[in-house]
Structure 1
């Protein structure tokens, strides 16, 4: 076996133990979250059980980490970020361009979002969904409808809200606005130290 591969495999168990402990979880907590037995988790962390995908994928989901970050895999391929913008055309409200800045499923997501001026038909439609949103206005003015409140936000202003509350946001004027948008699908809130 390639020595660097052997070193990577040998380091997975201690890394898994460190991640679990850093998150304040017991083996019982992790067993409940993953469906794996305490014995299997213990053997995996001690290096007595070889890490396989059927064991690592539930752990990656439970920790909400990309698999390569979970195991500490070295970077491969082109290290430059290749951002792919996506255009949205809602039925009501405003079109926007969303540029994903992260790609870790199930974790806190970061986007740059350009909120376009309205081409939709009808008044803005407030939506609700599980999660928590935070955004920072980079340029332009943003109109935020949150419950029965209406807020106007300018460059440097932030919004922080539970997405279970009916909400809508778009440009406040006839010019696009740009925001840095963080969204946590499971009620996660951005906080110092999130990585």
Structure 2
């Protein structure tokens, strides 16, 4: 991002924060001790923002200079997941690292009939898991129960119940969410790889 583009972003953020608070130019100008005409020229790009003015504006808008000048690019919005593959299972982690540390991991999984599930392959660990089927049909083994989960349906369960998710009659694609305990258990069971 060029200096001019960054300057435009800062100006837009100042104007946007002022308007979001319902403040006039006069109201913000009074709070940061600059004239309304200077503030107007800053917002419209007809005047450079001095560092001392930026400090005053950030303080008056109850934000930080870092937040005002933070560069804007796709990386703060777009997640480009990396594919992790093992026998019968492909996983794309859709959560950012900082979100994962907050206790939730979201992933897309493609499970094929080659994945070993059912008796002898059931996992138990603290936590909860939720998933919805995007395509195909999932076979959920939950304790002694076997349940089919179809497209558009969802399942949520305690992972303290022995469980596994497999494909029924062909590949299945699911969107799944683990809490922090579930993420840790799945990562440990697959050698610190993404959950599977």
Contact conserved, 1:124 with 1:168, CA < 8 A, in 2?
no
- SS of 2:82's partner is coil
Q: How big is the alpha-carbon RMSD for the aligned residues of Structure 1 and Structure 2?
A: 3.6
Which residue does the alignment assign to 1:182? 177
Shift of 1:88: 2.6
Q: Does 2:95 match 1:99?
A: no
Label 1:153 to 1:87 Cα distance change in 2 as closer, same or farther (>3 A). Answer: same
What is the SS of the residue equivalent to 1:105? helix
Question: Does 2:145 correspond to 1:149?
Answer: yes
**Larger-Rg structure:** 2
5 Å-filtered alignment, 1:25-174, equals: 74=70, 76-79=72-75, 80-89=78-87, 95-103=88-96, 104-106=99-101, 107-118=103-114, 120=116, 125-173=121-169
Q: Residues 3, 99 of structure 1: CA spacing in aligned structure 2 closer, same or farther, 3 A cutoff?
A: farther
Q: Greater helix percent: which structure?
A: 2
Tell me: CA distance 1:121–1:150, structure 2 relative to 1, closer, same or farther (3 Å): closer
| Residue 2 of structure 1, CA deviation | 5.0
Could you tell me the TM-score, scaled by structure 1's length?
0.52
Change (3 A) 1:126 1:83: same
CA offsets, 1:110-144, max 9 Å, x none?
Answer: 11111122165996500012211110111111110
Distance 2:148 2:118 in 1: 20
Unmatched tracts of structure 2, length 5 or more: 1-49, 183-196
Aligned residues: 127
Structure 2 CA distance, aligned partners of 1:120 and 1:8? 59
* Cα separation, 2, equivalents of 1:168 and 1:96: 12
Gaps of 5+ in 1: 16-67, 90-94, 188-195
